[in-house]
Amino acid sequence: MANSKYEYVKQYELDDTLLPGCWIVVRIDGKGFTKFCDVHGFEKPNDKRALDLMDACAAAVMTEFPEIRLAYGESDEYSFVLPRSTDMYGRRASKIVSLIVSCFTANYVARWPEHLPGTPLASTPMFDGRAVCYPLDSHLRDYLSWRQADTHVNNQYNTCFWALVKSGKTPTEAQATLKGTLSGFKNELLFREFGINYAHLPEQFKKGSVVVRQKAMVEVKQREDGSPVLRERALPAILHCDIIGDGFWQERPHLLA
């Protein structure tokens, strides 16, 4: 086909190919979720319904894009890991990020009524996204450890903060009580003042969510007599386990292969 005189504008599109041979991590994060939580009356510090919705959306993204190796989520964010060898959309950053973000967001809206029945969506949920390349396996491990350590620190702080606020302190007073305190002090405060044993809080709150593919038997069709035909498929499974230590990785050597 002959080029039109307008076609030169195509040259202004810049190459955004992600470095070959590196792990690709796409992290998405909810826009203005502090307000979004407030507007929709999320339970503080952790609304399990909203966390389950995030997890369901991440599993849907992994089903849509089989190239994704694993995902890790906490709060209003999720990280998706693509293997070093991936050729998804020619490793073009804007293609990969925009498709993951829109797949996640569309699922968030579509699945909202199932997870928060009786709470109408009052504003438009939006997520930002970025892609980062990591050359070494140790970088990827450290990235995921960084996010899981963040989950713990935030959850411990938020659990204390909201316990203080719910007991009658103003947010400013609660903040002042916690300023500069160590982990041990916060655990002690929760136990002494509020009878909360931090260790007994749900793993989903303390550890966040890991999505991996696990083999499961799935009905693919029915025989004439109505009996199911089962096949083994690798389906996204949501775990709330430690990924900082070596155990998780030793049990799943294929993840870093």
Binding region for ligand ATP (CB under 6 A) out of 39-47, 106-114, 183-191, 224-232: 39-47
33 is a site residue for Mg ion (CB under 5 A): yes
How many CB atoms lie under 10 A from the CB of residue 120?
A: 8
The full length of the chain comes to 257
Nearer to ligand ATP by C-beta: 37 or 238?
Answer: 37
Q: Choosing among Mg ion, ligand ATP, none, which partner's interface includes residue 52 (Cβ < 5 to 8 Å by kind)?
A: none
Tokens of 72: 């890790």
Minimal distance, residue 73 CB to ligand ATP, in Å: 10
208 is a site residue for ligand ATP (CB under 6 A): no
Distance CA 141, CA 124 (A): 34
Residue 209 CB burial class (10 angstroms; 0-12, 13-18, ≥19): buried
76-105 residues in contact with ligand ATP (CB under 6 A) are 76
Please select the residue that binds Mg ion; options are 29, 67, 137, 142, rule is CB under 5 A: 29
* Strands laid side by side in the 127-134 sheet: 127-134, 23-30, 77-82, 70-74, 209-222, 228-239
Tokens of 158: 């938020």
Tokens of 15: 């190459």
Select from 73, 37, 57 the least CA-distant residue to 151.
Answer: 73
User: One symbol per residue from 138 to 157: x for binding ligand ATP (CB under 6 A), - otherwise; what is it?
Assistant: --------------------
29 is a site residue for ligand ATP (CB under 6 A): yes
Nearer to ligand ATP by C-beta: 23 or 159?
Answer: 159
107 is a site residue for ligand ATP (CB under 6 A): no
Nearer to ligand ATP by C-beta: 31 or 111?
Answer: 31
Q: Which residues are annotated as a binding site for GTP?
A: 75-76
